[in-house]
């Protein structure tokens, strides 16, 4: 029996040890000491901004390196003034002055990409500014002649043949093989094609792309790399016999893989995830630089050119769409740089936030020794739920929450009450004083003289009406009496019932919610009755059918005020807008100006977004403050992420300066739609607001003093009950009773 | 008669085998609960000792009283109903023979159905556009949003009974099968009818099982929250707002201190109930 006892004891010990191993008693300090004692792994690629001396309004066309000199091509101009092309040379750390590429300028083309071929020639692709018999409509390929000054149109004939609908092939990328054969990415056919002496000799499926320029193909001395049809891998073809020689699956990307050929048969890819080295056999896939360390990880940037340098270095030419400028990056290996940053700053937001992503990109460049670990629960247009908040709370209670918390839609007051958030009034004062942050916006989370969050973006709710209908929205009482006097009035501009209800709720929020947060049942009944009357008068059911409204669609539009956004102002209707930046005000500013009226604020309120707070238990409070400063830096504030206006005076100034540029004023949108009610065809052309108009809106922001941070539980409960009333399964009295009951329960918790 | 624990080689071996699970219990249940007790005397964050403040806040909390009332009401209605209905069904199923015994397995099916599917099923039935309202429409009657009225409570009771009947039936059948057939045969020979057999043989021997089945049903009753939450969300109709809703919402608001105090109060209440039931059970056994 003795062996049994030994076995039993042994088993017990092993299982106990197994359990214990999951909860190791090693402290963090001990762990850090151990880490410190080990030698840090050093050496990684770093990004350097080469800062070419380009002028405002110049957009990137392409870049390449030849004989140790970097060549950068840009364009400027428009259809009226004509296109001009420039090039810059970079050698020994110095840029040359801008020189006009007269050959391209005289070609009268909208050139959107230049590529250096394997045959040592320069190729350009674009569309003619004016079509003629000699230069027909379609995408053209130009080749730089040996004299270096002129360009020859070498477009294969069949690329200019129109299809049944009258469209010619749309080119998305070009390259050239060592023998001078032309490679094109044909977006129309979804194929990569090779033309030899104008004749198509090869085609293969590629990822379908239909935008102007996508880096989908890349030639080396003996291979053609093509982004595969599934968009998740790269196919390789031998350029001698065009046989398929390999397929390498890569991590999924947002847009292109941006492939570049190395000199030794190695390939490189640049995506938002980072700079990756791989081989066509798929044996080696290695991340050389994580996307969070460079411009590639930023949102709203596109890659115009990506290629290898001559000394194990890389170049990438980025187009920063939102800022209307370019960024020339040089990636070099720095053996003094730690492989991974010594410190990590964690940032959390409930929803994906583009401004935060911009700030991370800037912060990483400014602080290469701190790595930012950003996480979020749901995407930008998804709706978070209470489970997401509970997951975060679990971390906060364990003292493991993120250092920087983006407080949008989080239970901020509970966090403040529990002491989760640090008082950052000192930082706010510093930002107001030194960074020109708008003082009124900085007060959004002011509680008893302490500041717990700083908004990096702001939404501007405005309303516009041609007559005095706007007075109906001054209070719930005013709305009800207006509807009694005008029983057929639709009050709001045409929209779907959910937007109308959300907007009305936002406008009437202060009227409906009592001081203790409870709901006045009588007022709620009145509100719901008014909503139903407006839906009926507006004929939302007909509008929804015409607009193709899908009740199952669950997209979170991230706006509280929206009614009649894209319809012209008419008598007896109020349009409500929540403007979230320069681009978002295109149509509203146009229609308000056209109507000859002024925009009005709604109860003087503004919607703070990207509200950054610091976790009181954070060990990285200094870095967290630096991160908030990055959020308010000109670079981030100036980027157009469509999630709110900037909140600094300098960003306002830059925005006003941009509004006066040719680039801003040339950005014109044409829209045509059929008015579902009148059947009338409406065609409109509008563009960005000019600086004078923009000034009116920015001045409004400066005057606002009422932060609109609604209770999401109330908001969701009301919307749920409105839906039942709209479907006719509940009366407004029943709905109001349910809302009051639920809110009473909420408050009594 | 007093019992004395004597260490022997046999029970040392038994404890060696028990050690891992005891350790697991300690690490995953007892220690976390000890932490809950500790937190119930402190502020949510910051570690400030507040004495009995959290308990006072919980006992004065309107939502807690509402949720407690609903939970007690639910247990008081469901437990006797479940025990009685499942017992009747078990006696019936135990008496049938042949292929019909397959029916027993059928009662277990609701337990095998995932909660998400159960919720979809209830929604299909009781939604505004659900089957019940459609049937009422055919009869020219007006339907309603069932889960937003007092009916929600009875729907939840039905859901609990439907889901847990099978499990209790199996437990009752196990208890019924333990009664030797000879006792019934002897009774019948002595002229006892079916009712007498049930009254004097079956019922008395079920007393011992009531405790176990009752406790298991009690524990299962707390799981009904999942259905209520998935059907009606964080803030359901006031009649089905249970303690777990409150705990969930407190956690969303980071009110861990209130949660902890309420959890300790609940644990005390449940322990008292179980001790009383156990005491009653032992008294019954000793009186026999």
Q: Which pair of tokens denotes residue A236? A: 């390789």
For the ranges A116-130, A191-205, A608-622, A660-674, the lowest mean pLDDT is seen at A660-674
Nearest chain A residue to B25, by CA: A19
Going from N- to C-terminal start, the domains of chain B cover: 62-287
* Predicted local confidence at residue A2, as pLDDT: 54
Is residue B241 less than 8 Å (CB to CB) from chain A?
A: yes
Nearest residue to A643 via CA among A690, A549, A578, A587:
A578
* Predicted local confidence at residue A212, as pLDDT: 67
CB A150 within 8 A of CB A163: no
The CATH number that domain B62-287 falls under is: 1.10.3720.10
Enter the DSSP assignment of A648: B
* Predicted local confidence at residue A259, as pLDDT: 93
Give CA–CA dist A549/A11, Å, rounded: 64
Say whether pLDDT at A237 is over 50. yes
Say whether pLDDT at B98 is over 80. no
* Predicted local confidence at residue B103, as pLDDT: 73
Distance, in angstroms, between B93 CA and closest chain A CA? 43
A692-721 residues touching B, CB cutoff 8 A: 713, 717
Instruction: Name which of B22, B31, B69, B148 to mutate to probe chain A: the one with the most chain A Cβ atoms within 10 A of its Cβ.
Output: B148
* Predicted local confidence at residue A531, as pLDDT: 96
Percent of chain A's residues with pLDDT above 90: 59
Chain A partners within 8 Å of B246 (Cβ): 749
> Who wins on pLDDT, A707 or A341?
A707
* Predicted local confidence at residue B208, as pLDDT: 79
Dihedral of alpha carbons B258, B260, B261, B263, sign:
positive
pLDDT class of B146 with cuts at 50, 70, 90: confident
pLDDT class of A87 with cuts at 50, 70, 90: very high
Give CA–CA dist A416/A397, Å, rounded: 14
* Predicted local confidence at residue A424, as pLDDT: 96
Neighbouring C-beta atoms of residue A434, cutoff 10 Å: 10
Convert A662-680 to b/e letters by CB count within 10 Å (16 or more is b). Answer: ebbbeeeeeeeeeebeeee
Mean pLDDT of A101-112: 90
3-state secondary structure of B49: strand
CB A574 within 8 A of CB A563: yes
Mean pLDDT of A175-179: 94
Say whether pLDDT at A28 is over 50. no
Neighbouring C-beta atoms of residue A741, cutoff 10 Å: 19
Say whether pLDDT at B107 is over 90. no
> Who wins on pLDDT, A673 or A10?
A673
* Predicted local confidence at residue A574, as pLDDT: 94
At residue B158, what are phi and psi to the nearest 5 degrees?
-60, -40
Is residue A397 less than 8 Å (CB to CB) from chain B?
A: yes
Contact B45 A741 (CB under 8 A): no
Chain A partners within 8 Å of B46 (Cβ): 418-419
* Facing A749 at nearest CB: one of B9, B249, B256: B249
* Predicted local confidence at residue A14, as pLDDT: 42
Mean pLDDT of A502-529: 92
Dihedral of alpha carbons A712, A718, A722, A724, sign:
positive
* Predicted local confidence at residue A5, as pLDDT: 53
Mean pLDDT of A90-115: 92
Contact A397 B16 (CB under 8 A): no
pLDDT class of A13 with cuts at 50, 70, 90: very low
How far is C-alpha A392 from the geometric centre of its chain's CA atoms? Answer: 24
Which range is most confident: A451-460, B35-44, B162-171? A451-460
pLDDT class of A32 with cuts at 50, 70, 90: very low
Nearest chain A residue to B257, by CA: A418
Contact A748 B62 (CB under 8 A): yes
Chain B partners within 8 Å of A738 (Cβ): 148, 237
CB A366 within 8 A of CB A293: no
Dihedral of alpha carbons A497, A503, A508, A510, sign:
positive
| pTM of the predicted protein model | 0.77
3-state secondary structure of B171: helix
* Predicted local confidence at residue A695, as pLDDT: 96
Say whether pLDDT at A234 is over 50. yes
pLDDT class of A355 with cuts at 50, 70, 90: very high
pLDDT tens figures, A534-546: 999 999 999 998 8
pLDDT tens figures, B168-213: 998 999 899 889 989 999 999 999 888 899 889 998 888 878 888 9
* Predicted local confidence at residue B288, as pLDDT: 65
Is residue B145 less than 8 Å (CB to CB) from chain A?
A: yes
For the ranges A9-18, A280-289, A304-313, A447-456, the lowest mean pLDDT is seen at A9-18
pLDDT tens figures, A408-442: 999 999 999 989 999 999 999 999 999 899 999 99
Using CA atoms, how far residue A692 sits from A96, A543, A658, in Å, is 37, 35, 12
* Predicted local confidence at residue B92, as pLDDT: 87
Distance, in angstroms, between B233 CA and closest chain A CA? 10
Chain B partners within 8 Å of A17 (Cβ): none
The dihedral region occupied by A10, where left means phi > 0, alpha psi between -120 and 50, and beta the remainder, is: alpha
Is residue A16 less than 8 Å (CB to CB) from chain B?
A: yes
Q: Which pair of tokens denotes residue B235? A: 């803030």
Say whether pLDDT at B125 is over 90. no
Is residue B45 less than 8 Å (CB to CB) from chain A?
A: yes
What would the DSSP string read from start to end of B101-163? GGHHHHTTHHHHS-HHHHHHHHHHHHSTTSHHHHHHHHTT-----GGGSTHHHHHHHHHHHHH
Is residue A746 less than 8 Å (CB to CB) from chain B?
A: yes
pLDDT class of A50 with cuts at 50, 70, 90: very high
- CA torsion angle for B86, B91, B95, B100 (degrees, to 10)? 0
Say whether pLDDT at A154 is over 70. yes
For the ranges A12-16, A209-213, A256-260, A379-383, the lowest mean pLDDT is seen at A12-16
Contact B61 A749 (CB under 8 A): yes
How many CB pairs below 8 Å do chains A and B form together?
110
Contacts for A645 with CB less than 8 Å, ≥ 6 apart: A457, A458, A459, A460, A579, A580, A581, A582, A698, A701
Contact A418 B145 (CB under 8 A): no
Enter the DSSP assignment of A131: -
Give CA–CA dist A664/A692, Å, rounded: 13
Say whether pLDDT at A163 is over 90. no
Contact B20 A16 (CB under 8 A): yes
Contact A411 B253 (CB under 8 A): yes
* Predicted local confidence at residue A132, as pLDDT: 80
CB B35 within 8 A of CB B264: no
Say whether pLDDT at A391 is over 50. yes
Is residue A516 less than 8 Å (CB to CB) from chain B?
A: no
pLDDT class of A26 with cuts at 50, 70, 90: very low
pLDDT tens figures, A109-140: 899 899 999 999 999 999 998 888 777 888 99
Burial (Cβ within 10 Å: 0-12, 13-18, ≥19) of residue A612 = buried
pLDDT class of B2 with cuts at 50, 70, 90: low
* Predicted local confidence at residue A27, as pLDDT: 39
B199-238 residues touching A, CB cutoff 8 A: 234-235, 237-238
Round the average pLDDT of chain B to a whole number and report it. Answer: 86
pLDDT class of B100 with cuts at 50, 70, 90: low
CB A268 within 8 A of CB A276: yes
3-state secondary structure of B79: helix
CB A326 within 8 A of CB A58: yes
Say whether pLDDT at A9 is over 80. no
Neighbouring C-beta atoms of residue A212, cutoff 10 Å: 17
What ranges make up the beta strands (E) of A117-241? 122-128, 140-144, 151-153, 171-176, 182-186, 191-196, 199-205, 217-219, 223-227, 233-238
Contact B44 A616 (CB under 8 A): no
- Counts of helices then strands in chain B (DSSP H, E): 15, 0
* Predicted local confidence at residue A681, as pLDDT: 84
Say whether pLDDT at A252 is over 80. no
pLDDT class of A39 with cuts at 50, 70, 90: low
Contact B238 A741 (CB under 8 A): yes
Say whether pLDDT at B30 is over 90. yes
């Amino acid at each position: 029996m003795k062996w049994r006892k030994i076995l039993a004891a042994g088993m017990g010990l092993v299982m106990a040890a197994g359990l214990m191993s999951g909860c190791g008693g090693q402290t963090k300090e001990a762990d850090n000491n151990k880490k410190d004692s080990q030698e840090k792994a050093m050496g990684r690629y770093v990004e350097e901004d080469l800062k070419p001396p380009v002028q405002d309004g110049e957009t990137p066309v392409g870049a390449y390196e030849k004989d140790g000199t970097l060549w950068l091509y840009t364009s400027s101009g428009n259809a009226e003034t004509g296109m001009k092309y420039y090039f810059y040379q970079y050698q020994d750390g110095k840029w040359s002055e801008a020189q006009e590429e007269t050959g391209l300028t005289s070609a009268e083309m909208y050139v959107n990409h230049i590529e250096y071929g394997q045959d040592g020639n320069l190729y350009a692709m674009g569309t003619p500014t004016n079509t003629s018999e000699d230069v027909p409509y379609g995408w053209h390929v130009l080749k730089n002649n040996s004299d270096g000054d002129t360009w020859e149109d070498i477009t294969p004939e069949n690329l200019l043949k129109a299809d049944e609908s009258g469209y010619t092939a749309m080119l998305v990328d070009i390259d050239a093989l060592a023998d001078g054969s032309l490679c094109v990415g044909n977006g129309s056919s979804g194929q990569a094609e090779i033309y030899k002496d104008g004749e198509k000799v090869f085609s293969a499926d590629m990822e379908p792309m239909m935008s102007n320029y996508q880096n989908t193909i890349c030639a080396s001395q003996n291979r053609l790399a093509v982004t595969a049809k599934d968009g998740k891998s790269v196919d390789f073809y031998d350029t001698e016999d065009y046989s398929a020689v390999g397929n390498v699956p890569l991590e999924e990307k947002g847009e292109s893989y941006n492939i570049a050929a190395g000199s030794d048969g190695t390939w490189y890819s640049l995506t938002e995830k980072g700079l990756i080295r791989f081989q066509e056999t798929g044996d080696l896939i290695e991340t050389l630089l994580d996307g969070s360390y460079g411009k590639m990880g930023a949102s709203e940037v596109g890659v115009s050119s990506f290629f290898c340098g001559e000394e194990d270095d890389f170049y990438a030419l980025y187009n920063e769409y939102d800022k209307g400028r370019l960024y020339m990056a040089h990636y070099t290996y720095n053996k003094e740089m730690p492989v991974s940053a010594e410190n990590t700053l964690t940032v959390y937001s409930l929803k994906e936030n583009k401004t935060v992503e911009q700030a991370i990109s800037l912060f990483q460049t400014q602080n290469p020794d701190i790595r930012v670990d950003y996480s979020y629960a749901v995407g930008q247009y998804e709706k978070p739920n209470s489970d997401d908040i509970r997951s975060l709370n679990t971390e906060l209670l364990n003292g493991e929450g993120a250092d920087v918390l983006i407080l949008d839609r989080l239970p901020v007051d509970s966090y403040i009450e529990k002491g989760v958030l640090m008082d950052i009034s000192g930082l706010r004062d510093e930002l107001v004083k030194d960074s020109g942050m708008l003082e009124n916006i900085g007060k959004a989370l002011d509680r008893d003289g302490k500041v717990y969050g700083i908004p990096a973006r702001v939404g501007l709710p405005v309303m516009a009406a041609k007559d005095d209908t706007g007075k109906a929205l001054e209070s719930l009482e005013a709305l009800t009496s207006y509807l009694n006097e005008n029983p057929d009035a639709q009050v709001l501009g045409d929209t779907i019932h959910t937007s109308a209800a959300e907007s009305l709720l936002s406008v009437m929020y202060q009227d409906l919610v009592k001081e203790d947060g409870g709901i006045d049942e009588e007022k709620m009944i009145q509100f719901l009755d008014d909503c139903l009357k407006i839906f009926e008068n507006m004929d939302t059911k007909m509008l929804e059918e015409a607009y193709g409204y899908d009740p199952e669609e669950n997209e979170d539009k991230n706006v509280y005020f929206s009614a009649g956004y894209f319809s012209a102002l008419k008598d007896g209707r109020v349009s409500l807008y929540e403007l979230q930046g320069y681009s978002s005000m295109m149509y509203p500013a146009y229609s308000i100006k056209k109507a000859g009226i002024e925009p009005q604020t709604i109860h003087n309120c503004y919607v703070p977004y990207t509200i950054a707070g610091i976790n009181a238990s954070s060990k990285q409070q200094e870095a967290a403050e630096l991160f908030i400063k990055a959020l308010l830096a000109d670079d981030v504030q100036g980027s157009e992420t469509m999630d709110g206006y900037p909140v600094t005076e300098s960003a306002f100034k830059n925005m006003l300066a941009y509004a006066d540029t040719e680039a801003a004023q040339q950005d014109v949108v044409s829209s045509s739609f059929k008015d579902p009610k009148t059947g009338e065809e409406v065609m409109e052309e509008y563009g960005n607001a000019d600086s004078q108009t923009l000034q009116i809106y920015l001045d409004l922001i400066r005057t606002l003093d009422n932060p609109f941070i609604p209770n999401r539980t109330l908001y969701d409960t009301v919307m749920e009950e409105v839906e039942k009333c709209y479907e006719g399964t509940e009366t407004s009295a029943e709905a109001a009773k349910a809302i009051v009951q639920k809110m009473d329960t909420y408050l009594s918790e | 008669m007093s019992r004395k624990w004597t260490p022997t080689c046999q029970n040392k071996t038994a404890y060696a085998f028990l050690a891992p699970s005891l350790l697991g219990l300690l690490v995953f249940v007892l220690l976390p609960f000890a932490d809950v007790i500790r937190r119930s005397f402190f502020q949510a964050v910051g570690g400030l000792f507040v004495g009995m403040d959290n308990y006072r806040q919980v006992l004065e909390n309107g939502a807690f009283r509402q949720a407690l009332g609903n939970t007690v009401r639910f247990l008081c209605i469901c437990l006797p109903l479940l025990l009685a209905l499942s017992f009747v069904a078990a006696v019936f199923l135990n008496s049938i023979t042949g292929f019909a015994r397959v029916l027993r397995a059928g009662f277990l099916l609701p337990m095998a159905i995932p909660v998400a599917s159960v919720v979809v099923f209830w929604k299909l039935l009781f939604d505004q556009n659900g089957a019940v309202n459609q049937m009422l429409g055919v009869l020219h009657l007006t339907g309603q949003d069932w889960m937003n009225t007092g009916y929600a409570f009875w729907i939840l009771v039905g859901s609990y009974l439907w889901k847990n009947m099978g499990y209790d039936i199996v437990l009752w059948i196990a208890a019924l099968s333990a009664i030797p057939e000879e006792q019934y045969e002897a009774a019948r020979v002595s002229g006892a009818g079916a009712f007498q057999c049930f009254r004097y043989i079956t019922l008395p021997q079920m007393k011992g099982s009531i405790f176990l089945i009752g406790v298991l049903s009690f524990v299962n009753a707390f799981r009904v929250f999942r259905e209520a939450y998935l059907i009606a969300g964080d803030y359901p109709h006031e009649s089905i707002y249970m303690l777990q809703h409150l705990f969930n919402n407190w956690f969303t608001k980071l009110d861990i201190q209130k949660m902890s105090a309420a959890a300790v109060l609940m644990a005390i209440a449940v322990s008292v109930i179980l001790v009383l039931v156990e005491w009653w059970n032992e008294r019954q056994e000793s009186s026999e």
